[in-house]
Structure 1
Amino acid sequence: MADQATILIVDDIEDNRLAVKAALRKEGYHFLEASDGQQGIEIARQHRPDLIIIDALMPNVNGFEAVRQLRSDIQTQRTPVLMISALDQKDDKIKAIEAGVDDFVSKPFDRVELRVRCQAFVRNSLLNRQYVLATRNPLTGLANKVALIQDLGEFSHPALFLFAIDNYDEFHEIHTMATVDAIERQFALNLDQLVPQCCPIPWQIYHFGDGEFAILLDDAVQCLDVTKAHEFSSKLADNIQQGSISIDESDFDISITLGFSMTRENILENARLALRYAQKQNQPSVFAEDIIEDVQDAVQKNFNWLRRVKEAIQDDRIIAYFQPIYNNLTSTIERYEALVRLVDIDGTVHSPFHFLPAAKSSRYYFFITQSVIEQSFAVFESNQYEFSVNLTRDDIEQDFIRGFLLKKIMENPETAKRLTFEFVEDESLSNYDVLKKFVKQVKSYGVKIAIDDFGAGYSNFVRLLDLQADVLKIDGSLVRDMDHNHVKRNIVETIKVFADKANMTTVAEFVSNEKIFSIVKDIGIQYSQGYYIAAPEAGLATRPEHENEEE
């Protein structure tokens, strides 16, 4: 106990402080001293002693006021306070109890009595310190998730608002840990001022860490309906966004995303689900009960597809299908695009639309990429057709996938010369330099680069040239409507002009009928791909469907 316990003695008379220390010296405590109430408050906040022994009557801030302030501070509100005083009137003791004093010792004090009382308080304080460590966030001193779970059991009509600082991870990437910690501490202090401005009922703030906080409202009289809850969350978010946090003469603008629930059962899980939904959908706040059923259904479907993907990988039922790409100038099939399919046990074939979103949330996605690459090389090493494989941002950002692809290319140099990697050109790649380096590496082995879905939403012509793309695949949303939408046809013609000047080959996707096929050829696009040519299949179709129909 001796090297663990710290006692703060607050008395304006030095001899009184010395007398207390002399009485307790054999206990081996570490002592801190303050000569008035204000100094005592500051030392207590800074050092968080295990026990405070305080005099009642002092100049400036007296003992009663000092204790009141200590009890209002979350850092010291649980610290035991023993008051030593010559006051023995009943009213004085009531006043001290109301201020938050735990016990009294009368002056002149008995050394044995003081020692025994201090031993008891220090013992309880150390136990309380362990409880605080378990239920308080060490950075801000706010109650944590453990405390929230305990408190939820005591509320009959809780309303829980769970929110996260936007772009918190980016703060860590840009600033030092000390700066981010300072931002989070100041944010917690600001909340203590902002919440009362928005909240009509009793509340408690919690800090989970990593920029995530919660507010629990005790709606015992059930005055908070959904409309008022939305108003509270909106006002809180607005007030936070209107202010800023200053750290080391730098100002930081803070915004939050919020999810809330008002159903007692599973309230924390539901609020978290709402928060994650709001973050994914880029919404400022979401009420859990509005989306919970749909989200849970989606989660269940996701789990079901993950199970089916896992089983398909184990049973080799992830199959590469190949869709022909038709040369409009030579009227022959010269290329194929590899497209993944999942084949169920009963033989049902599923397109990636059904299973790939679930797979991307797991490690199975990269098994799928590797499987399609392996199957494609196995099919095309024995012929002279060109072939293309789709790669996503997720693939490129993984070191081991890039390594696997480069190894496969180096092991099969002749086949690799007929390979094209298709990328969707968007702005979501977190490290563009990684993509540029990878493109440079594979092109040195003769691999071509195609930009897929060009013209759909985000199209950056500068980046297109920067990647040294060889092939431009025009998005199907433009191609499939060209027979009745002149604006889209004009866009396609413009893309074709640009591609010609940039020395890029063009492929029209989603060529679904003869009329569109004819327009594609009239524009001068070199290649066509779509169901009018042929549907994807496990083998290699060598004749287009429209030629088979003509026979």
Structure 2
Amino acid sequence: MSDIIKFSKTLKLLYVEDHREARDAMLQVLNEFFDDITIAFDGEDGLDKFQSNKIDLIITDVNMPKMDGLLMVEKIRSTTTTNTKIPVIVLSAFNETDYFLQSIRIGVEGYLLKPIELAQFMNILNKVVSRLMLVEESRKNENILKQYKEITDKSSIVSIIGVDGKIKYANDAFYAMSEYTKEEVIGTPYNSIENYSGGKVVGETIFNTLLVQKEIWQGILQFTSKNGKVNYLKTTIKPITDKENSIVEFIVLRDNITEIMNPKKQLLDAIKNLKEPVVVYIKIEEFHTIEEFYDHETVEKIQDKTKKYLQDAIKGYCNISKVYKLGNGEYAMTSEKALCMPQKKAFISKLKEFQALTRNNKVNIGVVDYDISIIISVAFENDNIFQSAKLGINELLKSKQNFIIANDYARKEHDKAEKNMQTISMVKEAIDNNRIVSYYQAIIDNKTQKAVKYESLVRLIKDDGEVLSPYFFLDVAKRGKYYSQITDIVLINSFNALKYTDTDISINLSAIDIEKESTRVTIFNLLSQNSEKSHRVVFELLEDESVKNMQTMKEFIRDVKKFGVKIAIDDFGTGYSNFERLLDYQPDILKIDGSLVKNIVTDPYSLNVLETIITFAKKEKLQVIAEFVENEEIFNIINALGIDFSQGYYFAKPEPLESISK
């Protein structure tokens, strides 16, 4: 989903809907996928806005005043050849055959009934965006672009087959591709002309889908012309039914992708054509090191030689006929589960044996021999097994392992994506209804055991009154467009709190916040407006690896200190924090990471680290705050060590502003 959303946000969407409530509801979903949306209120308005804007995708209602959505699409399609390729998704409250047939005729990408189900919408959007991504990918290669342009400039390859199996209609593109004349085609049984090669399994799948399930079949088929020329055709076959749901004919639409078909697409269609596929996904181990060490030509040579080795080594096993080179040092193979693994343990054992043998082989790349080492992810259960197998490779890279069974990883990722979308929706609603608030946790002077500072902590209040900590929404918000709005709200809340207490207010800032110009403008505006209180502001910098521009960070620290602002480094002692970085930040305060503090009673290492930090801080005249002070035993130890301040549930939990007001 992250790849789909990332690409969809680059597209320009035309959304046509006359019903205000339906439009507002749908826009809440569309805004998560598209940054550039042109809204039209009926078919005429949609046609005008299409003609005056560069549009990549159309989503339209059907029944509208002035001009309905399908007529609008027909007019758009009729203007130029380019417009016939713009994807269209039709939304309708009516499940009528005429609308559906008309949608097929004008070439829409998807037809959804209202109310829209999110899963179905995401599935169609995935298909549409995948097609657009394929087009975009082809543009990166001038040679592929030329071939693709030559193909798309021509008409689609179309034929109609009657229930008697005879061809009733074919267009000129069909005759050109098949190398048969019109007289040879019309009235002839399709199986004597359309000599597809796909095997018994593919034939049974097509038969079952069309005649038994009466559903659309899609896949890639190999077509041999009259003169023996082999073409690969992306094929869609639709059984057309009457009111009694009896099949009256079949419409076959094809695109010749022989010249542009990429290995990933070939693999995906091969998987679709299998009853119960198994996918073996392979990646060259430490491939990023190869890319850093060798030039591009050598890297490609290593990948090509590795593919040949894998192809030769696996030949004949499991009825695997092809190894697909997917780029980035990745390869995949697929076959029928029944042929590969009548016994699961034996299949897994064979793959591990193959993996071990690979480590003992080399590929010659001219100057040197390269030792092959691979990691393997295999999936053979549940839906979307290609995605599961690919996600398994990602898991292996994270865990530093070399073999994984990745069944059901795609579903888990999908569930995670849906949960993220729900969280984003919850965040948006909270922002719109002023339910992003700040709670304040006391920071205690260890000598007086009185509150001398408060840390501002963001909270989200759900519509049922439940208060959520940032753990439940902030990371997701960072990947969306609402994080900066949350930061601005917290800043305004925190500066407002200065009016209600005489103590310091600490505010957390990340590298993302500081590097964003609009956030810096907000900060300096608030400092200027509250200049007489700015000396009570503490910025806690969440120092981590995400710092992209250290110069911006240094300039920010220098400029805020002119207002009397104090700088604290949060979570010091673990992660990315280090003593060298202190030279860049020049802080006034160190906040010791809670993971060290909470273990000092039982962990001598944590205690030793704390003593080292305290010794350094005293020499540099830095104040020290211990986080996660949860009980008296911890407090007594950190107090004895000479730490200045404590923060934790032993003294106070985060509370609303009214609870800390003077």
Normalising by structure 1, report the TM-score.
Answer: 0.63
Q: 1:162 aligns with which of 263, 281, 285?
A: 281
Counterpart contact for 1:426–1:459, Cα < 8 Å: yes
Alpha-carbon distance between aligned partners in 1 of 2:304 and 2:356, rounded to the nearest angstrom: 14
* 1:463 corresponding residue in structure 2: 581
Q: 2:606 aligns with which of 479, 488, 498?
A: 488
The 1:526–1:274 alpha-carbon spacing in structure 2 relative to 1, beyond 3 Å, is same
1:498 alignment partner, SS class? helix
Counterpart contact for 2:501–2:661, Cα < 8 Å: no
Alpha-carbon distance between aligned partners in 2 of 1:406 and 1:483, rounded to the nearest angstrom: 42
**CA offset at residue 473 of structure 1?**
0.8
**CA offset at residue 456 of structure 1?**
3.3
* 1:192 corresponding residue in structure 2: 308
Alpha-carbon distance between aligned partners in 2 of 1:350 and 1:394, rounded to the nearest angstrom: 22
Alignment of 1:357 onto 2:483: no
Alpha-carbon distance between aligned partners in 2 of 1:280 and 1:471, rounded to the nearest angstrom: 34
Q: Deviations over 1:459-514 (max 9, x none)?
A: 42222333212211112233234445555334323321111112211001122233
Alignment of 1:421 onto 2:539: yes
Matched letter for residue 258 of structure 2: V
The 1:430–1:261 alpha-carbon spacing in structure 2 relative to 1, beyond 3 Å, is farther
Alpha-carbon distance between aligned partners in 1 of 2:551 and 2:322, rounded to the nearest angstrom: 46
The 1:276–1:332 alpha-carbon spacing in structure 2 relative to 1, beyond 3 Å, is same
The 1:411–1:286 alpha-carbon spacing in structure 2 relative to 1, beyond 3 Å, is farther
Counterpart contact for 2:284–2:374, Cα < 8 Å: yes
The 1:441–1:242 alpha-carbon spacing in structure 2 relative to 1, beyond 3 Å, is farther
1:391 alignment partner, SS class? strand
The 1:184–1:346 alpha-carbon spacing in structure 2 relative to 1, beyond 3 Å, is same
**CA offset at residue 347 of structure 1?**
0.9
Matched letter for residue 335 of structure 1: K
Alpha-carbon distance between aligned partners in 2 of 1:411 and 1:244, rounded to the nearest angstrom: 68
Q: Deviations over 1:142-198 (max 9, x none)?
A: xx22222221233234221335567878988x799xx44662454133222134335
* 2:569 corresponding residue in structure 1: 451
Matched letter for residue 519 of structure 1: I
Alpha-carbon distance between aligned partners in 2 of 1:505 and 1:484, rounded to the nearest angstrom: 25
Counterpart contact for 1:163–1:213, Cα < 8 Å: yes
Alpha-carbon distance between aligned partners in 1 of 2:227 and 2:534, rounded to the nearest angstrom: 77
The 1:397–1:513 alpha-carbon spacing in structure 2 relative to 1, beyond 3 Å, is same
Alignment of 1:332 onto 2:458: no
**CA offset at residue 343 of structure 1?**
0.8
Counterpart contact for 1:333–1:542, Cα < 8 Å: no
Alpha-carbon distance between aligned partners in 1 of 2:647 and 2:510, rounded to the nearest angstrom: 20
Matched letter for residue 606 of structure 2: K
What is the aligned residue count?
A: 417
Which stretch of the first structure deviates more once superposed, 322-331 or 344-353? 322-331
Q: 1:501 aligns with which of 593, 605, 619?
A: 619
Alpha-carbon distance between aligned partners in 1 of 2:409 and 2:532, rounded to the nearest angstrom: 53
* 1:30 corresponding residue in structure 2: none
Counterpart contact for 2:323–2:331, Cα < 8 Å: yes
* 1:145 corresponding residue in structure 2: 264
Matched letter for residue 489 of structure 2: S
* 1:134 corresponding residue in structure 2: 260
The 1:241–1:449 alpha-carbon spacing in structure 2 relative to 1, beyond 3 Å, is farther
Alpha-carbon distance between aligned partners in 1 of 2:516 and 2:359, rounded to the nearest angstrom: 37
Q: State the Cα RMSD in Å.
A: 4.3
The 1:287–1:303 alpha-carbon spacing in structure 2 relative to 1, beyond 3 Å, is farther
Counterpart contact for 2:443–2:454, Cα < 8 Å: yes
* 1:391 corresponding residue in structure 2: 509
2:581 alignment partner, SS class? helix
**CA offset at residue 323 of structure 1?**
0.7
Counterpart contact for 1:322–1:540, Cα < 8 Å: no
**CA offset at residue 393 of structure 1?**
4.4
Normalising by structure 2, report the TM-score.
Answer: 0.53
Alpha-carbon distance between aligned partners in 2 of 1:382 and 1:473, rounded to the nearest angstrom: 24
Counterpart contact for 1:157–1:222, Cα < 8 Å: no
The 1:445–1:246 alpha-carbon spacing in structure 2 relative to 1, beyond 3 Å, is farther
Q: Deviations over 1:187-237 (max 9, x none)?
A: 133222134335633242334456554332455523475553476368549
Alpha-carbon distance between aligned partners in 2 of 1:206 and 1:149, rounded to the nearest angstrom: 10
Counterpart contact for 1:391–1:423, Cα < 8 Å: yes
**CA offset at residue 440 of structure 1?**
3.8
Alpha-carbon distance between aligned partners in 2 of 1:230 and 1:212, rounded to the nearest angstrom: 21
2:453 alignment partner, SS class? strand
Q: Deviations over 1:358-380 (max 9, x none)?
A: 33332233332222122212222
* 1:478 corresponding residue in structure 2: 596
Query: What aligned pairs does 1:131-530 form with structure 2 within 5 A after superposition?
Result: 131-136=257-262, 144-163=263-282, 179-180=295-296, 183-184=299-300, 186-197=302-313, 200-201=317-318, 202-209=320-327, 212-219=330-337, 221-223=339-341, 226-227=344-345, 228-229=347-348, 232=351, 235-236=354-355, 239=358, 258-263=376-381, 265-289=383-407, 295=413, 297-380=415-498, 384-396=502-514, 398=516, 400-402=518-520, 404-406=522-524, 408-409=526-527, 412-427=530-545, 429=547, 432=550, 434-457=552-575, 459-483=577-601, 485=603, 487-530=605-648
Alpha-carbon distance between aligned partners in 1 of 2:284 and 2:527, rounded to the nearest angstrom: 44
| Bigger radius of gyration | 1
